[in-house]
Amino acid sequence: MFSGVEIVSADILSANKLLAEPIVEYSDPCRNRWGAIKLKLVQGQYGLNVNADTIPDIKSLYVDWRDTVELIPMRLTHKIVDSMNFKDTPVDAATWLKEFSNTGLIAETFNDHPNCNFVVYERLKQTWINKKSVKRGNDVYCRMLQEKFKPLFTSKNHTAFFDTHLNSKRKRTRTTRMLYLTGTCDQAIVGDIVAAWGSFGAYWNHFITSLRDLFGKSAYIRTWQSQNNGYPHFHALVYFFDWEFPVIYRASDKSWRIHNRQKVIVNKKSGAKEPCINAIVDRWKWGGLEVKCCDNTKSALRDLLKYVLRDLEGGASDLTNTMVWYFNKKSFAVSRSFMGLFGAFEEPSNADLINAVTDIQEGTQEDRLVAIDIFPILPRELMPFCTQMSLDAPQNEAPSDTEPPDPPPEVSRFLDLFADQCAPVSSNTRDNGVVVTVYEYKDRLTDFSLLGSSVHRCDVCHNEKQSSRSILGQWVCTDCYPRC
């Protein structure tokens, strides 16, 4: 939503971008008609040609896409209970109620007295809010992801498996049910970068299934990461419900590893066994695998999730986000059984923003949210006549002498005209009764007659000609309109 908005001079040419062709014809095939980078266009341009030569360009496009602020316009409809006194008015209450009955809203007199002039009725109020779109790596995504992870660290279900304090005078038996796994790719096995990313999910599924065949029921949380050469690798925590691994300290790298004395049956027919550590490593057939033992679930989760959160900081970590973005992968995945241990959490999306609006705006019986209309995402630069300072200020914040209404009239008018050029494509009613409707843009609704026209002084060429109102209220003649 718009709050603390500074109105600046309106440029009529910029203001009409939605009603006509852009002033600048973008020759970049990775940008849409408004100059915004879109993943489908990037994928269409580069296709399978992802290698050391093209990755820097794709990375640059990702960073541009991430840093370009795009807004989700949402129109909220509230049903408000209001009242009106018809005493000393030209219209009596009975006549007004009869006309009002055609609206589909409820209205009735305050009491049953035949001469009651006081009417209580419902009316609809529409307001606009704009939410900054969630993009992998932008500030909204980071904030929401950190909020989603918080319950993991406050959960009461964490388990300590063994004490890491070393005492040479005392022998302890240490075991764990959770392993920390890191798997890499061997180019000679997986092929090129596109093949590696395209099949990496299937490799993981095959791997985790083979572990379950050996050790029984398991749960996991897994995250992708890109190596410097663009190939994928994974970090994962795997919890085994039916198996405990003996732990030994390895002084060379100060880590805890599976003791090689423990064995597992690898062939049920022959009963052949091999050390557990060897069996686990052998099941990852597409590169190298490192296996570490976790002393407790809380610190293990914190260590794993640092890869997800670190990859949001930009810089060198932009490569991981670029590859995950380009190949349509989720930053992390969680098995259902793992959710059962620590609770459900998923990667942030724009759906979370919409759900949050529904929760926050539900209101009371006297002011109740009944509908949300969701419109196509727009680049923020299409609204050059305002500066959005805050996205999370209260929608109904009272305007002051120094601050315009939220949103300002120019923005509301802009969005009203944009909404006229969109059509509904889907609708559903939520459990709380709120109707959510999704709209799409009608690509070529740019007919000059849509806005109505008359002879008027054009604000572009300053001549008296057949002109029409622009989004900002200026007049544009038929000659100037095509270049606006």
pLDDT greater at residue 389 or residue 130: 130
Residue 169 binned pLDDT confidence (cut-offs 50, 70, 90): low
Average pLDDT of the chain is 79
Q: For the domain with range 139-342, which CATH number is right: 4.10.520.10, 1.10.3720.10, 3.30.750.24, 3.30.70.1910?
A: 3.30.70.1910
Instruction: Using alpha carbons, select from 456, 181, 139, 408 the residue that is nearest to residue 292.
Output: 181
Residue 477 binned pLDDT confidence (cut-offs 50, 70, 90): low
Instruction: Using alpha carbons, select from 212, 228, 232 the residue that is nearest to residue 220.
Output: 212
Q: Is the pLDDT of residue 452 over 80?
A: no
Within 8 A by CB and 6+ apart from 327, the residues are 197, 198
Q: Is the pLDDT of residue 260 over 70?
A: yes
pLDDT greater at residue 309 or residue 1: 309
Residue 246 binned pLDDT confidence (cut-offs 50, 70, 90): very high
- pLDDT at position 418 is 86
- pLDDT at position 11 is 38
- pLDDT at position 52 is 92
Q: Is the pLDDT of residue 204 over 90?
A: yes
Quote the percentage of the chain above a pLDDT of 90.
Answer: 32
Residue 238's DSSP bridge partners are 179, 220
Residue 384 binned pLDDT confidence (cut-offs 50, 70, 90): very low
- Residue 87 tokens, joined: 């005493």
On whether the CB atoms of residues 464 and 456 are closer than 8 A, the answer is yes
Average confidence (pLDDT) over 280-308: 91
Average confidence (pLDDT) over 342-358: 67
Q: What is the pLDDT of residues 9-57, one digit of tens each?
A: 333 334 444 444 433 444 678 887 777 898 989 998 999 899 999 999 9
- pLDDT at position 406 is 62
Torsion over CA of 387, 389, 393 and 396, rounded to 10 degrees?
Answer: -30
Q: Provide the residue type at 356 as one letter.
A: A
DSSP 296: B
Q: Is the pLDDT of residue 340 over 80?
A: no
As a whole number of angstroms, the distance between CA 83 and CA 96 comes to: 13
Q: Give the residue extent of every domain in the chain.
A: 6-74+350-446, 139-342, 449-483
For 66-75, 172-181, 309-318, which range has the lowest pLDDT when averaged over its residues? 309-318
- pLDDT at position 450 is 37
Average confidence (pLDDT) over 150-158: 78
Determine the angle formed by the axes of helices 39-46 and 318-326, rounding to 10 degrees: 80
pLDDT greater at residue 470 or residue 126: 126
- pLDDT at position 249 is 92
Q: What is the pLDDT of residues 72-87, one digit of tens each?
A: 899 999 888 888 888 8
Q: What is the pLDDT of residues 79-120, one digit of tens each?
A: 888 888 888 888 888 888 888 888 888 888 888 888 788 888
pLDDT greater at residue 280 or residue 401: 280
Rounded to two decimals, the pTM is 0.73
Q: Provide the residue type at 134 as one letter.
A: V
Q: What kind and span of H or E run contains 247?
A: strand 245-250
